[in-house]
Structures are given as structure tokens and as C-alpha cells.
Amino acid sequence: MKQIILLTFMAISVLTGNAQTAATNNLPPVDKSPMDMCYYPSNYPVLKIQDKITEPAVARVIYSRPQKNGRLIFGDLVEYGKVWRLGANEATEIEFFRSVKIGDKKVEKGRYTLYAIPMEDSWTIILNKDNDVWGAFKYDEQKDVVRTTVPVQKLSEGVEALAMTFEKSDSGCNLIIAWDNIKASLPISLK
Amino acid sequence: MKLACTFFLCCVFFIACTDKNEKSHDQAETKPDTAIVHTPTNPYAAIDLSPMDMSYFPVNYSQLKMTHDITTPPIMRVIYSRPHRQGRTIFGNLLKYGQRWRLGANEASEIEFFQNVTIQDKKVNAGRYIIYCIPYQEKWTIILNNDLYTWGLKIDSTKDVMQFDVPAKKAAADFEYFTMVFQPITNGAELVMAWDDTEGRLPINF
């Protein structure tokens, strides 16, 4: 019995695996909200090594993925009417490999920081040119490149970890952003 | 007792599954790391088994920018995914000596220099590169490559730009997760790459 308990604990410590001794060596532990990346066209790097690319890379987003962890997200943890970093840790970054159009505004090729101001029925999505920042703590409206307001959609099934992905649209692509029971979609025109 | 046994079996089963999962990635498969254990299915994007991470130089640049009035741009950053050891022997076993190693998982690891730098007396132009490694017992060959936005398992070596040999040393600690970070040195910084009991340090001068 004792042995089983010991083995169980060993198994658990393998599972959680967070005990990176590196933490004691000034090296970074694994983040609680892991970083992730998405491209348009979706899965571009995988398509690339499979020789299945039909169009050049247009955009990619690098973001960190907080988890719901039983909390109420919108209107509570993420307050309505306040700038939200759309992620965790390093600010969320969107990069265009060519110029695109968002709202009625031309957005030049390059890196931008992505924010949102969530409301109950709509989100204002912001592209800002102050890059390599942390969260929205030093957000400066003067550096906005474009702001556009999009409606939100209620999801029937909850999303535990903040998720972003691109989908194809008639005019280009949409950046889908989903967390908890809310989904927003940012239209990006390639025309 | 029964409960403990069941729980233990579940754990073993899970470890077996994830282990298999990780191995399959190392066998030139292209599926993303998608083992979800603690979260329900995410219809948009599953959480990766080997999470992505990012390191800047100056160290913690984005936090410094938040807490201090920094106006100078960062010098470099690396974006990589962090496989975990999970009880395996890494060097000379999971990673074969003399064979290419993607220095990460999933998407190819990417290093970006926001200004020109010098590595081992060679000038490296500002810009973005794929970074990978050929490990040997005594040294690592670190390679910068121009084939951007690719998956780490298939590296097009015709697009190699530069390569540098650095000694492979016993790491100062035991690394469950593969770790890349910059540490300051005189006239620059070292890119520290550490996993299991081994580390390599690429000196970068600017």
C-alpha cells in the first residue's frame, strides 16, 4: 500500500512536471498560461513541410492562453469597457506579411500589438504599434493604428483556454477569438 | 486500497499515452502536439503538449518596458516550444548525436535580431532566422537558417546561413523542460540552451 501511494505521488509529480529545478537557477519555469501561435493560412508551417502551400503566409498571431479555471470571465475577470490584453504575459502580437485592410483602413505589413475592449454585445479590437510590451499595463491610445468594433457571438459550449485561429472568408480571412462562452471575429480583407 | 490502485493505474495509463504521443512527434510526424488532459476539447485550438515560450534580450524586455521608460528597441528574441523530458534520456538517445535537432518542438524555433550582431567574429545581419542544432557529445553545432515559418521536423539545409560550434557542457541544473534564455556577458549576451543534464551557450556580441 505504502509503495502504491509513493508510486502514485511519483506519477503525479511526473504529470504536473512543473518542478523545473531551473527555477532555482534564474531560468524560466514553464508558464501557467502557455504561449501559442497561429497562422493564416491555418497550419502554414505544417502545410509548408508537406508541400501543400497554395498561398503565401498572410498573418500570424503569437499569444498566451489563460485558462478559465472555473472563473466568470467576461464582465467580471475581464471587465466591460476596459482595455484587455487578449492573452496573458507578453502582449499579444499580430504580424502581417503583406498589407491588409481592417475596417476601412489599410494596415501595412509589420508587427502590431493586439488589444480588445470587450462590451456585452460587441468588442472593439485595437491594433497598436507599441510592440514588445507586457500586457495592457502601458497601453497608449496615441499609438493605435486601427480600431474596429465587431459583434460577439455566444457559444453553447464553453472554451477553457483562450483560443485564436484564422478562418478563410470571402474577402480574406477572419481572426477568431474565443474564450469561455464568447466568440469574436475580426475581418481582415486581402483585397 | 482499491481506489489508490485505480488511481495509480490511471496515472500509468496516462503517462504511457503521453509518452507515446511525444515519441510519435519525434518520428517525423507533423501533427501538432495535442494531448489535452486537464481541459475539455477546445474546438478552435488545442493546448500544446510542448508549450511555446519567448525570451528577449535585454532579459524580460517587455516587463522592463512596462516598469521603466525604455525607449531603445530590444536587441533580440527567441520563440521556441518546450518539450519535456518525461523520464527519457535525451542526448545520445532521444536526440541522436550527429543528427539535426530542432531546438524545440512544433513550429521551428525562431531567433530575431533587431540589430546587427557578431557571433564568433562573424557579422550576423539584423533579421529573423530559424535556429537549430546538430548535437554531438562534446559540442553542438548551432545553425541559423533562412527557411522561415516552417515546422521543425523538416529543415531545408540549403537555406542555412551560418553555423557555429559551441561546447556541450554539463548543465548547472537538471532541466525537465527544454529552456532557451539570454544571459548577459561582457559586450553582449549568451543564448543559453539547456535540456536534461546538458547545455550549450552561444555568445552573441553587439
Report the candidate in B77, B26, B78 with the shortest Cα–Cα distance to residue B49. B26
Q: Residue B181: how many CB atoms within 10 A of its CB?
A: 21
Return the residue of A nearest to B39 by Cα.
Answer: A160
Is the pLDDT at B11 greater than 50? The verdict is no
Q: What is the mean pLDDT of residues B25-40?
A: 42
Scan for cell 515519441, then name that residue: B23
Return the residue of B nearest to A155 by Cα.
Answer: B43
Q: Which of these ranges, A96-100, B61-65, B181-185, has the smallest mean pLDDT?
A: B61-65
Question: What is the grid cell recorded at A22?
Answer: 531551473
The span from the CA of A80 to the CA of B89, in Å, is 49
> Is some CB atom of chain A closer than 8 A to the CB atom of B157?
no
Whether A65 is in a domain gets the answer: yes
Whether A60 is in a domain gets the answer: yes
Q: CA of A160, closest CA in chain B: separation in Å?
A: 6
Q: Are A64 and A156 in contact (CB under 8 A)?
A: no
With CB atoms and an 8 Å threshold, state whether B177 touches A91: no
Return the residue of B nearest to A38 by Cα.
Answer: B45
With CB atoms and an 8 Å threshold, state whether B5 touches A134: no
Q: What is the pLDDT of residue A27?
A: 66
Whether A15 is in a domain gets the answer: no
Is the pLDDT at A21 greater than 60? The verdict is no
CA of residue A46 relative to chain centroid, distance: 19
**Terminal Cα distance for chain A, rounded:** 67
B70 — pLDDT class (breaks 50, 70, 90): confident
pLDDT in tens, B126-178: 999 999 999 999 999 999 999 999 999 999 999 999 999 999 999 988 999 99
Q: Are B140 and B15 in contact (CB under 8 A)?
A: no
Is the pLDDT at B108 greater than 50? The verdict is yes
Angle, CA of B98, B104 and B107, to the nearest 5° = 115
B68 — pLDDT class (breaks 50, 70, 90): confident
Q: CA of A87, closest CA in chain B: separation in Å?
A: 13
Which residues of chain B from 61 to 120 reach within 8 Å of chain A, CB to CB? 61-63, 65-66, 73-74, 77, 79, 82, 84, 86-87, 107-108
Is the pLDDT at B1 greater than 60? The verdict is no
- Between the CA of residue B28 and those of A27, A84, B129, what are the distances in Å? 29, 39, 22
Residue spans per domain, chain B: 50-205
Burial of B98 per CB tally in 10 Å (0-12, 13-18, 19+): exposed
Q: CA of B163, closest CA in chain A: separation in Å?
A: 22
A1 — pLDDT class (breaks 50, 70, 90): very low
A50 — pLDDT class (breaks 50, 70, 90): very high
Pick from A34, A37, A178: CB nearest B47 = A34
Whether A160 is in a domain gets the answer: yes
* A and B: number of Cβ contacts within 8 A: 152
Q: Which structural domain range is residue A114 located in?
A: 31-189
| B76-81 vs B52-57, strand pairing mode | antiparallel
A26 — pLDDT class (breaks 50, 70, 90): low
> Is some CB atom of chain A closer than 8 A to the CB atom of B3?
no
Whether A22 is in a domain gets the answer: no
Whether A23 is in a domain gets the answer: no
Is the pLDDT at A29 greater than 90? The verdict is no
Pick from B40, B108, B173: CB nearest A25 = B173
Return the residue of A nearest to B150 by Cα.
Answer: A45
pLDDT in tens, A69-81: 999 999 999 999 9
